Amino acid sequence: MTTTQQVEPAARVTSLRRKDLLGIEEMSADEITLVLDTAEAMKEIGSRTIKKVPALRGKTVVNLFFEPSTRTRTSFEIAEKRLSADTLNIAIGTSSVVKGETLVDTALTLEAMAPDMIVLRHQSSGAGHLLSRICKSAIINAGDGTHEHPTQALLDAFTIRERKGRLAGLKVAIIGDLVHSRVLRSNLHLLTKMGAETWVCAPPTLVPPEMRRFGVVVTNVVEEAVRDADVVMLLRIQLERMEGAYFSSLREYSTVFGMTEERLRLAKPDVIIMHPGPMNRGVEISSEVADGPYSVILDQVSNGVAVRMAVLYLLAGGADHEEAA
């Protein structure tokens, strides 16, 4: 996919030549850059008095959330409204869902009402891929199990690029629950494609074996990860996904891996601190770091809207493009 674009070096991609956004793994570096560039134009719309453009007028977007979510769902909803799409939210409590069949049935029912896009959050990895095969609508993965959360990685990349001007060559340290994190997987795909030097750090019990595959540096010593880092990204300790004993206590985790001002002094003087939220204050991140001058955690939230607008806009065009071809 990338090679065809590189025939003529000046030519950049101007559309996402895909129906769905299921993960970063399938995306090329050019496509990622296109989303980030488009998000810059979208961010300007958010600064206007009238924060609305007619680009997706007449398009229907369904937000189908099988897992609780505040920021991702509201972020998508605001993004859809700023592009003038008609939106509806379907939130289904996890308890009422029988996996697989019910998802397919729900999707087919929705599909019968001909929405243009479905934004899907589901607790099973690969749920988006399943819907993508049975639905004509464009599917945007808003987090599937422990697999991917592509728009989060894109908004993280946008925030880094906004502060540092680039992604290539930066030392990015990601610290926290590596086993259960779909945010991590999407970020590793993205950061390695864009040429960042990526380190991951966690207790040995929270390091999944496939980390080697990404070509990242793995360490169990938080100081090594943080030393001279340009970006420190903390991941939430996901107590709700932990079925075994990964470490003896939260207090122990916090003492050995928690991000404190003292540890942060090892990083570059202009380091930025990121967290996809929701935070466990006092566990993976101390309050003075979360609210400190290096923190861009709230920028991540506001940039999320611009990045999701870019994805919605690019996919809306891409789907029609395929039909025309």
Applying CB under 8 A, the residues found at the interface with another protein are: 12, 14-15, 34, 37-38, 40-42, 44-45, 48-50, 52-56, 59, 83, 310, 313-314, 316-318, 320-321, 324
Residue with tokens 């399938």: 26
Residue 169: other Cβ atoms inside 10 A: 11
Phi, psi of 300 (to 5 degrees): -60, -40
CA–CA distance, 90 with 110 (Å, rounded to integer): 10
Instruction: Residue 307: name the closest of 33, 65, 121 by CA.
Output: 33
Instruction: Tell me if 173 sits within 8 A of 184, measured CB to CB.
Output: no
CB 201 within 8 A of CB 258: no
153: closest CA among 37, 30, 276, 271?
276
Give dist(CA 205, CA 123) in Å, integer.
22
Token pair recorded at residue 67? 């897992």
Contact 169, 197 (CB under 8 A): yes
Instruction: Read off φ and ψ for residue 246, nearest 5 degrees.
Output: -90, -30
CB-nearer residue toward another protein: 203 or 317: 317
H/E stretch holding 220 reads none
Token pair belonging to 157: 């990349």
- Strands, E assignment, 158-296: 171-175, 197-201, 217-219, 231-234, 272-274
